[in-house]
Amino acid sequence: MQDHVTPRRVVILGGGFAGLFAARALRRSPVAVTVVDRRAHHLFQPLLYQCASGILSEGQIAQPLRGVLRRHHNVRCVLAEATDVDTGARLVHARRPDGGDLRLPYDDLIVAVGMRQSYFGHDEFAAHAPGMKTLDDALEVRRRIYRAFEMAETAADDRERREWLTFALVGGGPTGVELAGQIREIAGHTLDREFQRIDSANARVLLFEGSDAVLGAFGPRLAHRAARTLTDLGVELRLGTRVTDIDERGLSVRGQDGTTTRVAARTVLWTAGVEAPPVIAALARATGAKQDRAGRVLVEPDLTVPGHPEIRVTGDVMSLNRLPGLAEVAMQSGAYAGRVVRHSVEGRTKQPKPFKYLDLGSAAYIARGRAVVKAGPLHLSGLPGWLVWLFVHLAFLTGFRSRMGAVLSWAVVFVTGSRRERAFNLPEAGASAGRAATPQASAPPP
Amino acid sequence: MQDHVTPRRVVILGGGFAGLFAARALRRSPVAVTVVDRRAHHLFQPLLYQCASGILSEGQIAQPLRGVLRRHHNVRCVLAEATDVDTGARLVHARRPDGGDLRLPYDDLIVAVGMRQSYFGHDEFAAHAPGMKTLDDALEVRRRIYRAFEMAETAADDRERREWLTFALVGGGPTGVELAGQIREIAGHTLDREFQRIDSANARVLLFEGSDAVLGAFGPRLAHRAARTLTDLGVELRLGTRVTDIDERGLSVRGQDGTTTRVAARTVLWTAGVEAPPVIAALARATGAKQDRAGRVLVEPDLTVPGHPEIRVTGDVMSLNRLPGLAEVAMQSGAYAGRVVRHSVEGRTKQPKPFKYLDLGSAAYIARGRAVVKAGPLHLSGLPGWLVWLFVHLAFLTGFRSRMGAVLSWAVVFVTGSRRERAFNLPEAGASAGRAATPQASAPPP
């Protein structure tokens, strides 16, 4: 900190990839950084589906934000949800978990709140089809997957059994594809020989996608390979379909020919869309910024909000040059925003160069030994794709203590199919069997 | 299975230590075993507090019951909660998670449902003071512990900050003592240098116990050592106190002199008592069996219910010779019940010897390098106690793949204080920042 001068206050909304990389870019800058997040952890979102499918634990993909930033002595972490921005007073309004209000003054504001699951106006779907954006979502998906097999085992009749053994996934992006592959592997491999009345390998996995390809963002060639790999795994692709209704027994889908079909499935998972959280609408109102259909903020080439050089929007909520909502875009835009603030604090007067995204490629895991990778002219699938996927994910996990644990978990699931993190709760139930509390504290035996 | 004869049907209620050991004792017997549990996992309850305090993941202490019993070809696992026993028709009524009914006929019934947390008639306390019996409880306790420090960091004033940094634990048995030690270690060690506005080491931990000693079951000498160790750690013991009220801001306690004190504490955890679940009352009604004050069933020396040689009660819900509610008692009584059934199937006509509990000792972990152990004439505390604790827990974890992981987690927390499983959710909040779903599946950028 500079001696008697109050340091410049940088408020970062969100502790995901964008927010974390913005804070890191400011590490050696004489500024006072406040990172505000509604969760206390930084989530390694690309592996969320592995938490949902029982390979990794929560702690392996989610680290306490203040632990990650412990050595950043100019950073303060605040557990609260940003609700509004007062651009005149340069204040962020935030709500603590107990409902209490916080006011956080800023000189620079970096917005990195990310996107949340969207049900395209059908929020009533959420109760029957959990999304895949948060740790809570992943645990709910895990519960539904493993519970479905348990319910099938004790089903009253064949029809009910078939319904419990049918999994419908809505959305053919990376998360949907990864989950579809995982459920097929759980059914055929992990649960092998564990049930008496059902053959878990018979579980059907249906993947519904509105466009005519899964993993469309990877280009037609890899999309085609991914589709073939999924089909080989036994995943039934339903492309060009639109979901019109979901309830606890299944869903209705309309095909491209306009006919509506009813699909009985007791497990429906939703990865089909995203939308900006409410604070972004508040920001747009306060600044007059424009938003795209999903609510992202249209930014200038230097990521500022038009007319507000002190506000930068980064990561998934930023709308610029149709950049996709990927971890890499978030990291690079967050780091850019932090760097520009640092340069300004250092007194550099030169206009910053516009943000330029360097596409290092994208990867999606489909099944054991099979992934698709696109990196510039390089298109890989199958085993080569999987090896690159492994390398990239290990590299990005580097900062995390959990890397060793993840490698071990991956090795075990690869070789044996066994998944360690299969425990799930049924919150509607009460207490269960186990060790009693101490005798002297409980009612004494007679 | 025997060729054309229907095998004898053994229904085991509960997949805790008692139920698991009963099933194992029947492994090579030509019987059809059904294990019914309201959870799909077997929980290693003695380490539940380590899951609550962020050292171990759920998967490290909870294994899928049907995974554990995979090689027992005469066992079927059923996810359901036993609700009633029809002793005339020899049927167990059970409720599946979706509310559906199951009827499970038996020739032999082994009851091993365990005890649940009791609030001594004050069930309204539960909302403000979670118990420590299930995995759900542990995650709720974890959330409250780590959230409290976050809330203290952003507290509006000193008073609120002090209240968030005050933890009140009700019950001075092993779980309460272990949790008290854990919270002091988290405060002084794990969270060291992570906060800016608070000094986490200042957190107060108060342990309320109705009797005049913590760990009374270990005898006066070890109880005294445990009390001294806790005091050294900074835990404030409030012995001879009775909790009369709990709300979200704290609790009221009555001392032995009859005066009532109000203690402001935003985190209250409850480990003070246990009671039998409702199916035990149904069993008692059906059989005329007597129950003790906490609802345990008074059994014959061979663990049968008086007048019902086909029904055996084992583990924590069994009331016999004032045996304590310990994992070891559960294992030995479960194994005994399974063995007696096996002998009967084998045609042995000799009256079985009464159940005799072999006390192998008990151990409680207090803090890094400090535990108390009582094994017959052997009384250990401090580092020797801790080494024995370590050995015993490793030995009992043997069957579990997670043993290696647990050793690693213990080594890391011992040396560095770092805890991997600190992620917690705030279910009241919505989605958070992170990777967006695939571009093609979400609303397109403009």
Give the closest of A154, A174, A316 to B96, CB-based: A154
Q: Decide if pLDDT at B163 tops 50.
A: yes
Residue B382 has pLDDT above 90, yes or no: no
Residue B102 has which token pair? Answer: 């199951």
Position B409 scores a pLDDT of 80
Least confident of A115-124, A423-432, B34-43, B114-123: A423-432
Q: With pLDDT > 90 as the criterion, what percentage of chain A qualifies?
A: 73
Restricting to A residues 122-151, those with a Cβ less than 8 Å away from any Cβ of B are: 131-137, 139, 146-147, 150-151
B97:A147 CB<8 A: yes
Tens-place pLDDT, residues B359-379: 888 888 888 888 888 887 888
Kindly report the nearest CA distance between residue B349 and chain A, in angstroms: 32
Asked if the model's pLDDT at residue A139 lies above 50, the reply is yes
pLDDT of residue A400: 54
Region B196-218: what's the mean pLDDT? 95
d(CA A141, CA A161): 19
Q: Kindly report, residue by residue over A47-60, the tens digit of the pLDDT.
A: 999 999 999 999 88
Residue B171 has pLDDT above 80, yes or no: yes
Question: Which of A175, A326, A442 is closest, CB to CB, to B273?
Answer: A442
Contact B54 A57 (CB under 8 A): no
Across the range A272-300, mean pLDDT stands at 97
Position A434 pLDDT exceeds 90:
no
The torsion defined by the Cα of A46, A50, A51 and A54, in degrees rounded to 10, comes to 180
Q: What is the mean pLDDT of chain A?
A: 90
Between CA B361 and CA B368, with CA B362 as vertex, the angle to 5 degrees is 130
What would the mean pLDDT of B7-11 be, rounded to a whole number? 97
What pLDDT score does B392 carry?
Answer: 80
Sign of CA dihedral A14, A19, A23, A26: negative
User: What pLDDT score does B401 carry?
Assistant: 58
C-alpha to C-alpha distance for B348 and B338, rounded to whole angstroms: 14
The per-residue pLDDT for range A33-49, each reduced to its tens digit, is 999 999 999 999 999 99
Q: Is B194 a catalytic residue?
A: no
Is pLDDT at A153 greater than 80 in this prediction? yes
Question: For chain A, how many residues are written?
Answer: 446
Q: Per the structure block, which two tokens stand in for A301? A: 């080439």
| Measured distance CA(A373)–CA(A385) in Å, rounded | 5
pLDDT in tens, A167-191: 999 999 999 999 999 999 999 999 9
CA distances from A53 to A29, A49, A143, B122 (A): 41, 6, 9, 38
Determine what percent of chain B is predicted with pLDDT higher than 70.
93
Q: For the residues B206-225, what does the mean pLDDT come to?
A: 93
B207/B172 Cα distance (integer angstroms): 7
Q: Does A276 touch chain B (CB under 8 A)?
A: no
Judged by CB atoms within 8 Å, which residues 294-323 of A form the interface with B? 294, 296, 298, 315-316, 319, 322-323
Contact present, B311 and B341 (Cβ < 8 Å): no
Instruction: Please give the Cα distance from A262 to A396 (Å, whole number).
Output: 42
* Lateral strand order in the sheet of B242-247: B242-247, B250-254, B260-264
- DSSP sequence for B300-347: -TTSEETTEEEEEE-GGGEESTT----HHHHHHHHHHHHHHHHHHHTT
- Residue A399's pLDDT band, with cuts at 50, 70 and 90, is low
Percent of chain A topping pLDDT 70:
93
